[in-house]
Amino acid sequence: MGKILHFDPFSGIAGDMALAALVDAGADPLLIEQQLQTLPLEPFQLQWTHTVKKGISARAVRIITESEQTGHPHRRYREIVDMLKSADLPEKAVLWSLQIFKRIGQAEARIHGIALDEVHFHEVGAIDSIVDIVGTALALDQLNPDRISSSPSPLGNGEAAMAHGVYPLPAPATLELMKGYPIRSTSLPFELTTPTGAGILTALTEQWGPVPDMTVERIGYGAGMRDLPDRPNVLRVILGNR
């Protein structure tokens, strides 16, 4: 018995989609932003909107920063760990955030052949990814599930420009993170699961497969930025009791 939160990433998952879906499922966006503002980050605001993706109404979130036009500072794994450990945030949210960053850091360390503490985050060290990850952990702390499960996620195909150049999709970090976990095939030439999204799923999920037995209480939809040709680009989260 207990409360179950199930991720249903039928169109993939990114950090902003996870945060938006959890807010759409009932987490308080004002409280999340207040808590995030206690982190020693450059000034930012969360912009919340509603959108419709192929007939599905969904919540969307965008991080607005003053440095948006000039680029974001990159951070080392150890800097992020120290920042989170000194933060005045709920204990469980800090623990979940640390688990996600460690998963992503370990994947980056294996890819680059370096020690975990030497990992220098680029995309994941930028403010938007930090806000997405810690915001997701804060939202989960509010919803307080006893167990987190997930359906397999499609990763995507094609190529994308990243900090070190043009890389194949799925991104090396995404593929490394999903090693040992089920994925869905897709022919769509887009990045559907980002390293942040894969880090969230693999760090927190305890059970993989279809929606588990439960009495559904809440459903949330978090929108991605892109419009996909054959499906709504949303992440669905399902909250229920068993």
**Which of 181, 223, 175 is closest to 195 using CA atoms?**
175
Structure tokens given for 151:
């359906």
Residue 131: is its pLDDT beyond 80?
yes
Residue 124: is its pLDDT beyond 60?
no
User: What is the value of pTM for the model shown?
Assistant: 0.93
Sequence-ordered list of residues with C-beta below 8 angstroms from that of 116, at least 6 positions apart, any chain: 77, 102, 105, 106, 109
pLDDT (tens digit per residue) in 55-68: 999 999 999 987 65
Sequence-ordered list of residues with C-beta below 8 angstroms from that of 106, at least 6 positions apart, any chain: 116
Work out the pLDDT band at 125, boundaries 50, 70, 90. Answer: very low
Give the max Cα distance, the chain. Answer: 50
Contact 202, 181 (CB under 8 A): yes
pLDDT on residue 128: 86
Residue 22: is its pLDDT beyond 60?
yes
Work out the pLDDT band at 73, boundaries 50, 70, 90. Answer: low
Work out the pLDDT band at 70, boundaries 50, 70, 90. Answer: very low
> Cα–Cα distance between 37 and 116 in angstroms, integer?
27
Sequence-ordered list of residues with C-beta below 8 angstroms from that of 71, at least 6 positions apart, any chain: none
Residue 122: is its pLDDT beyond 70?
no
Sequence-ordered list of residues with C-beta below 8 angstroms from that of 78, at least 6 positions apart, any chain: 117
pLDDT (tens digit per residue) in 208-226: 999 999 999 999 999 999 9
Work out the pLDDT band at 37, boundaries 50, 70, 90. Answer: very high
Residue percentage of the chain with pLDDT more than 70? 94
